């Protein structure tokens, strides 16, 4: 079981001024932040990141949204990080998200759902390296 996962505070949450509140939730939920940066994805970066969904009807909407403004990308560390972060963010659709989860409190729709979380250890590794070089991952301190 890997102890790393990859997270994004998506453009809707950044636009709504929720970056700091979500960053605080990450820390209070016991994650160690290995790296974090504010970026604006190009459309082709968003298409590459979500390539697994390229045949889905919402792919155009998703990639335009993800490249519509600044987002914060983060590499997170915790025991069982992938599962723990998915529990912290809640269900994809905020209507179905449990009380106290980030999507319940900050997401507005299934499309604009505030945060991303990796769905497997393998994808966590791929996604972290999509956005961070090895030297940007700060392991000690």
Q: Which residues pair with 9 in a beta bridge?
A: 72, 115
Span 41-60, contacts to Mg ion by CB under 5 A:
none
Q: Which residues pair with 5 in a beta bridge?
A: 76
| Residue 139 Cβ vs ligand ATP, minimum distance, rounded to whole Å | 24
Name the nearest CA neighbour of 41 among 138, 120, 130.
130
53 is catalytic: no
Name the nearest CA neighbour of 63 among 36, 45, 89.
45
Report the DSSP pairing between strands 32-40 and 70-77. antiparallel
Interaction between residue 62 and ligand ATP (CB under 6 A): yes
Considering only 97, 101, 116, 128, the residue that binds ligand ATP (CB under 6 A) is: 116
111 interacts with, out of Mg ion, ligand ATP, none, CB within 5 to 8 A per kind: ligand ATP
User: Among the options 112, 116, 127, 132, which is catalytic?
Assistant: 116
* Only segment of 27-35, 41-49, 73-81, 108-116 that touches ligand ATP (CB under 6 A): 108-116
Span 77-136, contacts to Mg ion by CB under 5 A:
119
Q: What are phi and psi of 39, to 5 degrees?
A: -140, 165
**How far lies 71's CA from each of 21, 120, 130, 141, in Å?**
14, 22, 15, 25
Residues that bind ligand ATP (CB under 6 A): 53, 58, 61-62, 92, 110-111, 113, 116-117, 119
């Amino acid at each position: 079981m890997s102890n790393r996962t990859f997270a994004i505070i998506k453009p809707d949450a950044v636009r709504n001024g929720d970056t700091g509140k979500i960053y605080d939730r990450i820390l209070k939920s016991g994650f160690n932040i290995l790296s974090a940066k504010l970026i604006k994805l190009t459309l082709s970066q968003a298409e590459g990141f979500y390539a697994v969904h390229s045949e889905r009807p919402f792919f155009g909407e998703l990639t335009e949204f993800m490249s519509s403004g600044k987002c914060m990308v983060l590499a997170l560390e915790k025991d069982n990080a992938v599962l723990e972060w998915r529990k912290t963010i809640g269900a994809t659709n905020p209507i179905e998200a449990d009380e106290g989860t980030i999507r319940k409190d900050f997401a507005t729709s299934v499309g604009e759902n505030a945060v991303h979380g990796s769905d497997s250890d393998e994808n966590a590794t791929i996604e972290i390296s999509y956005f961070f070089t090895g030297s940007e991952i700060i392991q000690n301190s």
